[in-house]
Amino acid sequence: MRIAVFSTKSYDQEYFEKYNKEYNYSFSYYETALNPDTAKLSTDCDVVCVFVNDIVDENTIKILSKNGIKLIALRCAGYNNVDLDAAAKENIKVVRVPAYSPEAVAEHALALILTLNRKTHKAYNRVREGNFSLKNLIGFNLSNKTIGVIGTGKIGETFCKILNGFGCKIIAYDIAENENVTALGVEYMSLEKVFEQADVLSLHCPLNKHTKHLVNKASIETMKDGVMIINTSRGALIKTEDAIEGLKNKKIGYLGIDVYEQEENLFFEDLSEIIIEDDMILRLLSFPNVLITSHQAYFTKEAMDQITITTLENITAFDQNKALKNEVKQ
């Protein structure tokens, strides 16, 4: 099997090389993202391996099909960037890594909450410059605060377990209730009630046509004054311009995001010497109560091990004509 790996960073290659010793596949690594312009690089390959910001739309898929690609192997859980109908039409299978480390993402959501709240990032810089003042560093106790969780699947459940340890009241909304979450004492309620009651709102549902712009002008208006919103799921769950408005009129007290609606042109790259044309991210960066990380919630050693092993296992199952347990269908 020849595999074209798109959006490759040095760490992706390092992990594939580490585990490929047991599989012996032939990899072609491309730093560029997969899109209709770069799909031609898949010539002579059987599989393309892609990540969160590769554009696997109908145009891309048609070119992949012409090149003889039979499998799209996502090395991530979310698959909102793949046109599943187009893949099915071209008889290309799609596989993903449904669960690699819910702890990695849930723990990062907690890191965003604690950093925004206790302002450790500001304290670190202050103290390094000999400024030992506490002015404006005041936070709040998480204990007894109401945490609203949208989406209580693998990551949401792990997040609930962690926040339980802080003595929080946890309320949740999901289209399907998870009994492990109910067993933790989490109370399910309507989406509207979660928006109304949460001091901290954390998003853990997938991006799809039902969840796009879940956080928007209308829903923000129903939230508590000074609400903290955390998004480690997918950028477009939040309508960015409405969040900016909510920050400007002080309805939103804190915003912590690991994902951003237009992240594909920014995240994972060093743009420090480039003029950034995206005015919305620059506006977001100008707020003292906004914390942005560039899609790193998944990025732990344990998660990278699991992503790599599952991806190689997915490819092997396809290669050996076995059932694809991690197949994504429409």
Q: How many residues bind ligand NAD (CB under 6 A)?
A: 30
Q: Is 295 labeled as catalytic in the residue annotation? A: yes
Instruction: Verify binding: residue 156, ligand NAD, rule CB under 6 A.
Output: yes
Residues 148 and 132 sit within 8 Å (Cβ to Cβ): no
Residue 129, CA atoms < 13 Å, CB-side half-sphere = 7
- The residue annotated as part of the active site, out of 234, 261, 269, 327, is 234
- Among 131, 255, 241, 273, which residue's Cα sits nearest to residue 201? 255
Among positive and negative, which fits the CA dihedral 26, 32, 35, 38? negative
Tell me whether residue 199 or residue 263 sits nearer to ligand NAD (CB atom): 263
Smallest gap from Cβ 234 to ligand NAD, in A, equals 4
Rounded (10°) angle between helices 301-319 and 102-118: 150
Report the C-alpha gap between 147 and 201 in whole angstroms.
Answer: 6
Concerning whether 263 is annotated as a catalytic residue, the answer is: yes
Q: How many CB atoms lie within 10 A of CB 15?
A: 19
* Residue 153 binding ligand NAD, by CB under 6 A: yes
DSSP-derived letter for residue 25 is: -
x/- map, 209-248, ligand NAD, by CB under 6 A: -xx--------------------xxx--------------
In degrees, rounded to 5, the angle at the alpha carbon of residue 320 between the alpha carbons of residues 46 and 26 is 40
Judged by CB under 6 A, the stretch of 19-27, 97-105, 139-147, 317-325 that binds ligand NAD is 97-105
For ligand NAD, give the closer residue by CB, 71 or 105. 105
Strand partners, 201: 148, 229
Q: Does 96 bind ligand NAD (CB under 6 A)?
A: no
Annotation says 90 is catalytic: no
Per-residue binding letters, 67-86, with ligand NAD (x by CB under 6 A): ----------xx--------
The closest alpha carbon to 53, from 218, 270, 202, 263, belongs to 263
The Cα–Cα gap between 170 and 150 comes to 11
Q: How is residue 183 written in tokens?
A: 């067993």
Residues in contact with ligand NAD, shown as a per-residue x/- string from 10 to 49 under the rule CB under 6 A: ----------------------------------------
* CB 319, min distance to ligand NAD, A: 26
297 is an interface residue for ligand NAD by CB under 6 A: yes
Footprint of ligand NAD on this chain (CB under 6 A)? 77-78, 99, 102, 105, 150-156, 173-176, 204-207, 210-211, 232-234, 258-259, 295, 297-298
